[in-house]
Chains A and B, each alone.
Chain A
């Protein structure tokens, strides 16, 4: 197993900057997810680590070895593709054995390793079949077996679960994580699915437009998004971002309500920012009575999703936000409600730069 370091890595396709100045350190045995929307450069980054693409700028290291100019075959990486990329003319056995045959291992050793990994992934009864005779889930396991059989230093996974049905996906998430921890292998996982990223990763790297937006643990990414992109990309429904003007050291004038802080943080906001986004997650807003309410709103839509209700509400003309409420609550469109924002869960972002404004809530301040 190795650590992986990307040092100011960029990849340009003509004028398009697919990956732009990415610096990243992945520890030995760590499970890191590259998360972002389509076209954000996450797969390109993975293909550069695999050696399929050569970076336009920057270097890539496995431990202390510069692998930037080393072809994929000499990097000892294993990769699972979104399409699985199983060789259609080979049986499952030969698909898994292919990397070992290329290494010119003795036949009996190949046989032993193939059967071991097949057993580990519970596909030992499928070895004689062709890929076309397998279900999606089985194909995915074969692809994983082929990546693992060569005992790679780094395991690369490019959206491996996105072609599976919802139930199997939930099952395979846990299975993959268990496998990675058991084998202690360094894993780099690419996905656009935040649930996969949050549930499986040791650390998440959020990317957009070829650049890293934030690197952190799932908890850090969720509870301390470093900018408005991360805030609005993570969470279902995502964080509400309400535009506000800074009136004085204590007061924000937001769409539909005024919000008054206690004085500790006020000066910083006043001094450095004129306009901000007031960020609050749907689950951090509670419905309350008129006296305790921070803001007044009208209900537009009520969507039951099982354990919660997702309620779309209107603060002021045209500006809507979403909140989560327990299903026991009886509300219908048109109702007027009062909202209380959980003080310690409020996020502030500069409106111009989108960057997070750090501030500390003192205890007892409410």
Chain B
């Protein structure tokens, strides 16, 4: 019989972990299990009620969804292309533009107030509720009153609608998501740059380096690990993100016309707009699979064990 003294020690960590484990099981493991299950069925809005009530023979197990996805669905090719453009472009903004921005803000702008102001400007979309941020953009691009529209119109860029005309709609999709996402990389990068000891920068200055040479030879090499983290994290988030597209375009018809149907929102529309639950689940399952493959790939390329080592930014 375990002594009473030892018992709480063994149980204690589980008591602390229990709420989190419960949440993970309820909101992650169960939905993933359901998604996998659904993707192998033919559940649609037609047999959904029977399926929920467990009526016998309400649905069949089938591989039809996968056949459809891999050949039968005429839009998959285009959606894959849009997803690639979307993830690639927004990633460029989130991982690389935010890096340039962070270096400018922390290193080049010496004025502390100006630097803080610039950081806050880029954080605004992050702290604004997604719906408010989305509607703000709808106002910004409206041809009558929108400042964004007016500004580009004055430069000679005046599409009938930023929302519906390609490629403006796709540029809009990238800018909207890029602006909100850049702040994530910026927070990681600015704190990493600030953690570089002042003496290293001073030493480089005395050694004869210009600002650009310091950025290239000292700051960027020391930001290698934060950069790898931001790139990995953002790729995975972007593959699964659809909120802003949903808020701005709202329906499958609109995203189709605008050329903004990415995989994640396609899964959403299929399941919740068209009632093709099983097919929607299959599309999202493929996204999960792509995500897992990418995680493994990143770990392989960047060396997971190295990422787990203590910070390299030390003297």
**Residues from chain A with Cβ under 8 Å of B203 in the complex:** 79, 81, 85, 87, 146
Q: How far is the CB of A81 from chain B (nearest CB, A)?
A: 5
Q: Is the CB of B315 within 8 A of A85?
A: yes
Interface string of A6-48 (1 = CB under 8 A from B): 0000000000000000000000000000000000000000010
- Chain B binder among A98-106, A114-122, A246-254, A285-293: A98-106
In whole angstroms, what is the CA distance A132 to B314 when docked? 9
Interface Cβ pair total, 8 Å cutoff = 73
**Residues from chain A with Cβ under 8 Å of B206 in the complex:** 50-52, 72-73, 77-79, 147, 156
**Residues from chain B with Cβ under 8 Å of A364 in the complex:** none
In whole angstroms, what is the CA distance A110 to B313 when docked? 27
Q: A81-B199, A85-B197, A85-B199 are in contact. Are A73 and B315 (CB under 8 A)?
A: no
Q: A79-B203, A102-B213 are in contact. Are A89 and B208 (CB under 8 A)?
A: no
Interface SS of B by simple majority: helix
In whole angstroms, what is the CA distance A102 to B218 when docked? 13
Interface membership of B312, Cβ < 8 A: yes
Interface membership of B191, Cβ < 8 A: no
Find residues 299-315 in chain B having any chain A CB closer than 8 Å to their own CB.
312-315
Q: Is the CB of B222 within 8 A of A88?
A: yes
Size range of the interface on B? 20 to 34
Which B residue sits closest to A74, measured CB to CB?
B208
Which A residue sits closest to B221, measured CB to CB?
A89
Which A residue sits closest to B224, measured CB to CB?
A89
**Residues from chain A with Cβ under 8 Å of B314 in the complex:** 88, 132
**Residues from chain A with Cβ under 8 Å of B218 in the complex:** 87
Q: How far is the CB of B130 from chain A (nearest CB, A)?
A: 39
**Residues from chain A with Cβ under 8 Å of B210 in the complex:** 73
In whole angstroms, what is the CA distance A52 to B214 when docked? 14
**Residues from chain B with Cβ under 8 Å of A78 in the complex:** 206
Q: Is the CB of B312 within 8 A of A83?
A: no
Q: Is the CB of A71 within 8 A of B205?
A: yes
> Within the complex, which residue of A71, A85, A131 is in contact with B202, where a contact is CB–CB below 8 Å?
A85
Interface membership of A207, Cβ < 8 A: no
Interface string of A61-86 (1 = CB under 8 A from B): 00000000001110001110111111
A-B contact pairs, 21 of them (CB 8 A): A50-B206, A72-B202, A72-B206, A72-B208, A73-B206, A77-B206, A78-B206, A83-B199, A85-B202, A85-B315, A87-B200, A87-B204, A87-B217, A88-B222, A88-B312, A89-B224, A98-B207, A99-B208, A102-B209, A131-B315, A146-B207
Chain A interface (Cβ within 8 Å of chain B)?
47, 50-52, 71-73, 77-79, 81-89, 98-99, 102-103, 131-132, 146-147, 150, 156
Chain B interface (Cβ within 8 Å of chain A)?
197, 199-200, 202-210, 213, 217-218, 221-222, 224, 312-315
